[in-house]
Structure 1
Amino acid sequence: MGHWPPTLAGVPWSAADWTYVAEGAANVIVRYTGQPVWPYVNTTPGPEHGAVLALRLPKMRFDVSSTNGYPPLDAYIDKVLSQLIPKEALPTLQCITFTPGTSALTPFLEQLAANIEPFRPEARREAGTIDTAPSFIWAMRDWSYAPPRDGVPQLLVEIKPKAGIVCNGPTNDENKRKHTKYRMHRIQRAAPHQGAVPPVTPHEFASWYDPLDFFSADRARISKAVHALCIDWASAPKNNFSVMCNGRKLDFEADKRLLCASLHSTEKDLLETLALAVTDSLCSPQNQSILSNIVAQQARLDGPGIEELARRWEALTGASLQDGPEDCSRTVLPLSPPPLQDYVNAVRKNPAMHIATLDELYTTVILYMIGATIKDASIFLRLGALPALHLVDLDPKPLTKLRGYVRDDVSISRMFGRWAAQND
């Protein structure tokens, strides 16, 4: 035994032992639910006893955006992100390689894909299917599960805090110096139909979750942010906050009894008790150190900001990021996958606040996209014992997403400006 998760070469695989958990744009997550045996479950004594494995299954997507050609996730985490984020907050991955058509994993993946297909959201099924012939898959700890403690189910919280920064570079929109992109974007999403000014009052806007509060290092402001997340989750679940138990996302109304038992709370005080437990965990010295590091890297990697980055791109390449062709492979600075060494070299530098050369532009683009990964990461937090947080969803962002970021920035800024003018 020893280190966990261990190397998994040669272990038997049964599709019946794995259950669908969740998925993102590029991967599906399944967790082990079979008999509690090594190496699928950590059976060694200690604080991590009972932890279980999860697998990240790559998808074949029907759109054009892909991470093919980008560094493998383990190398990206080990060589790039670990230079920016404390290692204890980053996931440990084991790569399972196999040859499609000859490996025992081939029938396993084919059967597993068939088993979990009915549990996948319709929108995800329409966007892509599970790749049953990849060159490798990833094994990691399942952070949606914690073993019961003294017979009581343990809760985990997943938070996608988003960027806890405002624009610090040149901008034509002063609103971006006062409000986070998350809150400005939420105004845009609140529009009843395209082009309509959202019917959101200033009072309602002030009550919304604010990443600036979450990353403030001030307990009162962190508590305010957590309360807003809990209220959103209880009233209309969003992807910024979820509560999990035994690998399952909980529903506030349907799972009140379980929530009350795990939190030792009454129904009346449930939201307050949950918010307090999350706040206590986030405010631990270890977690505050990690969060302070995350937001500092968000600010540093953002550099001059997307608006100035787009201006300098056009000035140096002669092409518009917002309105240029979708095929960027033949532009002066192609948005093709950078080799791992380019990422490694970039993180040793700071973004150029005044971009004067194509080399500076290239480095600043890479750093901005690394920052985009950190801004979009999710935090897993176990309530109660072992409160240290862990980051997931750390794949490198395709450089081709830069065009979409520029277009989003323009449309979000325009809509928020209309809403702000109407609510002066």
Structure 2
Amino acid sequence: MELHIVHYKTSLGSLANAVNSNQSDALAVLGFFFEITSSDNEDLEPILSQLDDVHYANSTDLVSLSSNFSLKSILPDFHGHQAYHRYSGSLTTPNCLEVVVWTVFENTIGISEHQLSMLREIFETEEGETPEKLLYDNYRPLQDLQSRSITTSTFHWSYEEELNTGPSQWAQHFQACGGNRQSPIDIPNEDDVQYAENLGFIKFCGYEEMRVHTITNNGHSLQVNIRGNFYISGGGLGTRYQAAQFHFHWAKTSNRGSEHTFDGSAFPMELHIVHFKEEYGSVTEALNHPDGLAVLGFMFKVSSTDSESYDVILHNSSGIAYYGESSNTSFIRLFQLLPIKQENLHFFRYNGSLTTPPCTEAVIWTVFTDPVSISEKQLEELRHLHHIMRPSIPVTYGTIESNYRPVQRLNGRQVLKNFQFSAASRTLSAGIMLSIVICISFWITKNH
């Protein structure tokens, strides 16, 4: 479905004057697309609940919407950035006068199949007219662009600062990217991070077996889309979060590449597993809530041998070497992609954002301390992916050599941890205790 909001130029005084003015900019029409959602869009109810009063064509009843109805409430949440396309056109119904400046937005509105069926039950015929005919298929076919041009507000962001589209430019085009809860961050020295006993440990449900994934080159990373009901819970999350996709961040060389850093130290790569809060139903809806997403971050270390687990993914990378290409794989055990120790994993916790535009501040971050192993050869395979579409002949330029966002200011946010002592701390503590015992024993022996 598509929504049109019609505006007339104020200097023309009325809609009728604007339509008859023959001015090419007399009307400004905003176009919004709808997408199917699994649940009803409650914001549409003030309109849909009045359909019985306009069941037939040319109904003369004046329908009053709720006094607190807001037109803005049914529009998309732009998350700080409006992506739209602009062109000069016409009314899409007779007499098709060419007096419209069209603005068509990329952000969509949700509507359920049930709510669409309600619209399909109104009539294009008047009451009592026979035969009655339902109102549907009320769209005009596409028209030829002719010599007209289309302009766009869309900012095609990248990680390349020299193109003025890199991370330092994001906030100029995506308001949220300049917010106070941005990610990634430099996680302080663990000794300076507060232990939170209530966090406990993350529980993984279904991670031992995941089937039917689509591996995609999205132009910024290698992304694996997850199908099925796989969840995480516990770990202080309060409820279940469903897995949606995972992707990777790396750099040109292995001295860095992770987005998060530990006390200033970077890792060669970072894996992000994105989950949405189950009650929100989708990533799109979850982005409207500060606790909408739970993202797990895993660091990598370089090993001398290939990781068999990551060969399953990288085996398909040649078929997705260029932006927009996808490949299917029938079976992946997500557990095999994580650290060897599956239970009682140590992690840091903080509230943050997406690390890519629109940088929405809707993420509960869980960043684990135990790294995953991968070889230098396997990292090189990822660095050979391209951020451009496949050309007619293979090329070596346009590769995704670095796709990490620099760390952002903590801005007073609290970072917590679910462990009291790291392995190193326990070893140090044991050493200190042993030294104390030896000193006491020496003192007793000396004085007796």
Query: TM-score surpassing 0.5?
Result: no
- Point out the structure with the larger strand share: 2
> Higher relative contact order by CA 8 Å / sep ≥ 6: 1 or 2?
1
Instruction: Give the structure with the larger helix fraction.
Output: 1
Whichever of the two has the greater Rg, that structure is: 2
TM-score range, shorter chain: under 0.3
State the TM-score, normalized to the length of structure 1.
0.19
Provide TM-score, normalisation by structure 2.
0.19
